[in-house]
Structure 1
């Protein structure tokens, strides 16, 4: 429980300290917290709350800069929170969303257009 509180606090600090014009990594991470159980261990379909967050994220990622930033954040946070990349690849399909950002630990984010 204490780890969850600390995680939320760290994400909030990152979100509010960023003066980015594109979506911030802190905001993206905060939005994806409801998906973390699925991203780590899978097991059934992701929650409807998780899918709603994925749909909102999809709507927010507009433009090359935003897609590259989201890509970098997904890679960084995926490693940090030890997600299962196969679950991450399947998540957009389960939520019926076509994310404009590749979900793979080997993605070169500078090539995302």
Structure 2
């Protein structure tokens, strides 16, 4: 009977440890560039040519905003997006108008020479 009690206590300890560690681990999850690029990919034609903003674009911008709630997360997302913006010759004026047009307040000035380490939350 004593070994059953010890086993139960060990199982409870493991469960409590998992519950304590799990939220910490998920909060520290890195931003994945392929996911970021998939979210903003529908915006690319608009960012190059202008015109109407596709619904999928605003959906992606809102999703990206919802998963980047800390300064380091926004800096990581910036590092993911910057090479795509550079290689596709986007219109930076349109890029700066995109988030507000989608109802998102990112407070980031997007430029060709943007230093992602300076992105604030």
Q: Normalization by structure 2: what TM-score?
A: 0.68
1:97 counterpart residue number? 104
Q: Relative to 1, partners in 2 of residues 1:70 and 1:101: Cα closer, same or farther, differing over 3 Å?
A: farther
Match of residue 27, structure 1, among 29, 35, 59 = 35
| 1:42-98: CA deviation from partner (whole Å, max 9, x where unpaired) | 02x301221111111110112122111112222211012221111111111211111
Q: Relative to 1, partners in 2 of residues 1:101 and 1:72: Cα closer, same or farther, differing over 3 Å?
A: farther
Tell me the C-alpha RMSD between the 2 structures.
1.8
Q: Do 1:34 and 1:50's aligned partners in 2 also have CA atoms closer than 8 Å? A: yes
User: Which runs of structure 1 show a deviation greater than 6 angstroms over 4 or more consecutive aligned residues?
Assistant: none
Q: Do 1:58 and 1:100's aligned partners in 2 also have CA atoms closer than 8 Å? A: no
Aligned pair count reads 93
Q: Do 1:32 and 1:50's aligned partners in 2 also have CA atoms closer than 8 Å? A: yes
Rg (Cα) greater in structure:
2
Unaligned runs of 5+ in 1: 1-19
